[in-house]
Structure 1
Amino acid sequence: MREHVWTGRGALAVAAAGALVAATACSPGSAPSGGSGDLAGVELLVAAKWTGVEEDNFTEVLAGFEEETGATVTYESTGEDTGAYLGPKIEAGEPPDVAVLPQPGLLEEYASQDALVPLSGDAAAGLKENYTDYWQDLGSVGGDSYGVLLKAAHKSIIWYRPDAFDQAGVNPPDTWDDLTGTTASTLSDAGVTPFAMCGASGWTLTDWFENVYLSHAGPQKYDQLVNHEIPWTDDSVVQTLETLAEVWGEGDWMAGGTQGAVQTDFPTCVSQVYGQEQAAMVYEADFVAASAQEAGATVGETAQAFPFPAVGEKAPVVVGGDIAVAMSEAEGVQQLMAYLTSPEAQTTWAGLGGYLSANSQVEADAYPDEFTQELAQTILEAGDDVRYDLSDQVPSQFGATEGKGMWTVLQDFLRDPSDPDAAAEKLEQAAAKAE
């Protein structure tokens, strides 16, 4: 494993090429504290979207619960569209005992349908003990706690090629002004295209917006926008769009120009930086590591990353992730939820790689490399200022549907960012329609 280093004041050099994308050997921690009692003969079904290595690692975590309790836990993949999988099962009265949801919006939807069972006993106590108020509130509806953020994704990272930065004589920036006024402009002047954009994948554009908005407007305003307590025509939204236009409006700063930026999907944009070397930087989450490696980069050497620069007083920390909920009252379900909430279970998963936890009791040294340790630490250190992905909290027809809502409006704005007020009005209209 390569040693983690800091290059410049704000840059993260990514360590351990496979740590974010493949399992590594891990010695199990202490016996999980979540389970209790003898569940021999009890059979439970857990459903989540994970496949491949993620599925292997999660089933290894579940094996710890089976060992402790004697229960048998079967895993079933929902596929990428968790709602399409769960909808018919809920309708038929045959949901899985535990489901892992990719969006808080789904949690609210199912809670309103009485399709979820509130946490109780050790599960409720574990959530309160191991998670900050923000994460507790995220999984709650109407004062009842339903969800546990089981697996997090760090969405406040910009990846870059060190050789391109060296060629232009620039360092990773700390602030947005540094990014636009020095880093990107100097790269462009040196004949290096600053950014690969993943505009064909609309969710990446919502992530851009969320980072700029959180840093510029602050967490309280962010929450108000999520809940539509302020309109999308608010000055804070317009100013965020104006800030994005400082990059999106520079066609020469994007691989393939404006047209290429809108037509390039994720993860093709990653290969434009690593492999094709058409650009110096690409914005997206920690999972870029997998695509960079597939493109031939050596993560930690030729592929490095720095935190999303501060637009306002603080750099943003935006997190996505998957939320575990109980969908039945069968014997053993609350014990399993308690186990999933426990630091012991999540420490086991942390040691397997490709995982981040928002559990305050998971120690940094649980992770197999220093880069992941740094990412986990930034989530915990952000405290009450960390925020969950905005587009996944609003109604899915507005925030998470191809060809609709935020995705379409921001893609149009990427094509022509000359009128932020008009884009804000379109966002407000789409948000109102989705509600």
Structure 2
Amino acid sequence: MRSRLSRLAGGGLVLLVTSQLVAACAGGSGGSGQSSDELDLDEEVTLTVQQQTSAEAMFAYIGEKFEEKYPNVTVKFETISQEQKVGSNLAVLGSSSPPDVGMIPLNSEVYTQLTNADALVPISDVWADADLETRYSAPVAASMQTDDGPTAVVYSQLIYDVLWYNPDLFEQAGVEIPEDHRIESVDALIDMATDFRAAGIAPLQLGGGSGYEASWMLDAFLPTVATEEEMANLLTSHNPNVEITTPYDGSPFVDTLEALQALGDGGVFQDGYLGQDAATALAPFLTGDAAMVLNGNFAVPEFEKADLDFTPDWLLLPPVGDESKVLQAQYFGDGLGIPVNSDAVPWAKKFIEFVMSDEMQEEAVVNIGKLLPAVTSLPSDELAVDSWSASLLADIEANGSAPGWTSVVPGGFGQQFIDPLVQQMLQGELTPDEVAEQQQQHLIEFRDKN
């Protein structure tokens, strides 16, 4: 979940591990010249693959099917926790004896430091064999490019910034449900919240103290006020090879911060929201005591467990600018990559290609993992997903989607840095301009270090 994805290694650990990575990778034997076609089917191979907790059944299925296809290969799994994935796993992947396939959250400092140290094998050939340039959405494919081409794949997606709502409470408060799942404007959302409060109903539950939900909303607002060129620059300018053409201390970034401040000042969120984590914020919605909650498709299991006495539906956050650009926010962060010191690079490439096949995306990721596929090549109306997720996917198919800013840029540059500032802004301790100025200064410092 996003809450765990936001807990990254401290700066001292990152610097220490980075120096170790450079030393370890200098003697790496994997190299990028080996192709996934260079497979000896008579060679007995043990392939070590990392999996994360809660995904064991999904990866076990993938491993079993891979072994059926390649009987000479034994897949051995190493399980890591969510906390390890975004922290101590950096040292494991950069060591002289890493797993052959590693778990790499792409919006984390783990990925940033591995990339900076050339510690991952470029896998352009895997992308070509799996046709990922076409099967990923264009923004996702573009966001994963490095100077050496792609060095990872993402195998699933999450949809976040979803406003789940209780239709019964809308009717009770006399609040009209917006058409086509879209709220007309920031002012319209504030008016809705005012009506809910007048009826004694908590308006919108937000895990403001979670470390990520406060800054999530920037991801929904930014694409509605930024041009395609501005958005592209905001997603990539942390790379020192990219010219800064859209600074953070001007429009559109300041506009989104001002909109977020307006929601806080307008009483849109529940009382005490800045002191609540995501689970605490969700609870009143599940018991029917709150009109809306900010969450994502990953709330569906909670709906199914809670035995709700109402049927939730969903809305999207309102636009700051062009209402036609209100799109689903998608998180593509759970990735797989190959450490350069892997002893079985060609087989690791073949395994990753196998994970990204339509067959495994559907049978393993969707049917067993209960996740959404990372690729667009599977018809949403044919996937065995719950009705809520099917509705979200159908909207993406009809209207498009956008990868969120905090889900694409490195965590140490984006979410980890901006979320505390947004919380301070909502507490009245900082202005939107001051937050934007700090983000711009952080951009300059981040580029200098990388």
**TM-score scaled to structure 2, two decimals?**
0.78
Summarize the Cα distance change of 1:207–1:181 in structure 2 as closer, same or farther, 3 Å threshold: closer
Match of 1:422?
434
Residue 270 of structure 1 contacts residue 292 of structure 1 at CA under 8 Å; is this kept in 2? Answer: no
Which of 167, 170, 181 matches 1:165? 170
Tell me the distance in 1 between the aligned counterparts of 2:190 and 2:91: 52
Report matched runs for 1:119-138 at 5 Å. 119-121=123-125, 123-126=127-130, 127-138=132-143
> How far 1:289 sits from its partner (Å)?
2.2
Task: State which drifts further: 425-434 or 194-203.
Answer: 425-434
Say whether residues 1:233 and 2:249 are aligned partners: yes
Tell me the distance in 2 between the aligned counterparts of 1:180 and 1:214: 18
Tell me the distance in 2 between the aligned counterparts of 1:104 and 1:97: 21
Which of 42, 53, 62 matches 2:45? 42
Letter in 2 for 1:201: S
Tell me the distance in 1 between the aligned counterparts of 2:40 and 2:318: 49
- Percentage identity across paired residues of the two chains: 23
Match of 1:24?
none
Tell me the distance in 2 between the aligned counterparts of 1:135 and 1:147: 12
Residue 242 of structure 1 contacts residue 420 of structure 1 at CA under 8 Å; is this kept in 2? Answer: yes
Report matched runs for 1:202-351 at 5 Å. 202-228=211-237, 229=244, 230-251=246-267, 253-256=268-271, 260-275=272-287, 277=289, 279-297=290-308, 301-311=310-320, 312=322, 313-321=324-332, 322-327=334-339, 328=342, 330=344, 331-348=346-363, 349-351=365-367
Say whether residues 1:175 and 2:179 are aligned partners: no
Tell me the distance in 1 between the aligned counterparts of 2:39 and 2:379: 23
Tell me the distance in 1 between the aligned counterparts of 2:99 and 2:62: 18
Tell me the distance in 2 between the aligned counterparts of 1:176 and 1:413: 25
Corresponding residue SS for 2:373: coil
Report matched runs for 1:55-204 at 5 Å. 55-70=56-71, 71-81=73-83, 82-105=85-108, 106-121=110-125, 123-126=127-130, 127-173=132-178, 174-177=182-185, 179-180=188-189, 182-204=191-213
Letter in 1 for 2:67: E
Q: Over residues 150-170 of structure 1, what are the superposed CA-to-partner deviations in whole Å (9 max), with x where a residue is unaligned?
A: 110011411122221121122
**TM-score scaled to structure 1, two decimals?**
0.80
Corresponding residue SS for 2:372: coil
In angstroms, what is the RMSD of aligned CA positions? 2.7
Say whether residues 1:367 and 2:384 are aligned partners: yes
Residue 199 of structure 1 contacts residue 261 of structure 1 at CA under 8 Å; is this kept in 2? Answer: yes
Tell me the distance in 2 between the aligned counterparts of 1:358 and 1:179: 33
Letter in 2 for 1:289: V
Corresponding residue SS for 1:94: coil
Residue 206 of structure 2 contacts residue 281 of structure 2 at CA under 8 Å; is this kept in 1? Answer: yes
Letter in 1 for 2:142: D
Match of 2:406?
391
Residue 165 of structure 1 contacts residue 280 of structure 1 at CA under 8 Å; is this kept in 2? Answer: yes
Tell me the distance in 2 between the aligned counterparts of 1:153 and 1:90: 25
Summarize the Cα distance change of 1:98–1:176 in structure 2 as closer, same or farther, 3 Å threshold: farther
Summarize the Cα distance change of 1:100–1:378 in structure 2 as closer, same or farther, 3 Å threshold: farther
Q: Over residues 349-382 of structure 1, what are the superposed CA-to-partner deviations in whole Å (9 max), with x where a residue is unaligned?
A: 2123521113121222123333323333444555
Residue 212 of structure 2 contacts residue 415 of structure 2 at CA under 8 Å; is this kept in 1? Answer: yes
Tell me the distance in 1 between the aligned counterparts of 2:395 and 2:283: 27
Tell me the distance in 1 between the aligned counterparts of 2:69 and 2:47: 14
Q: Which ranges of structure 2 fall in alignment gaps of 5 or more residues?
A: 1-36, 238-243
Task: State which drifts further: 234-243 or 91-100.
Answer: 91-100
Q: Over residues 187-207 of structure 1, what are the superposed CA-to-partner deviations in whole Å (9 max), with x where a residue is unaligned?
A: 223222211121111211111
Letter in 1 for 2:58: N
> How far 1:275 sits from its partner (Å)?
2.0
Residue 287 of structure 2 contacts residue 308 of structure 2 at CA under 8 Å; is this kept in 1? Answer: yes
Tell me the distance in 1 between the aligned counterparts of 2:134 and 2:435: 42
Q: Over residues 96-123 of structure 1, what are the superposed CA-to-partner deviations in whole Å (9 max), with x where a residue is unaligned?
A: 2112322245434312212111225455
Letter in 2 for 1:93: S
Residue 200 of structure 1 contacts residue 264 of structure 1 at CA under 8 Å; is this kept in 2? Answer: yes
Residue 143 of structure 2 contacts residue 236 of structure 2 at CA under 8 Å; is this kept in 1? Answer: no
Match of 1:20?
none
Corresponding residue SS for 2:121: coil
Corresponding residue SS for 1:397: coil
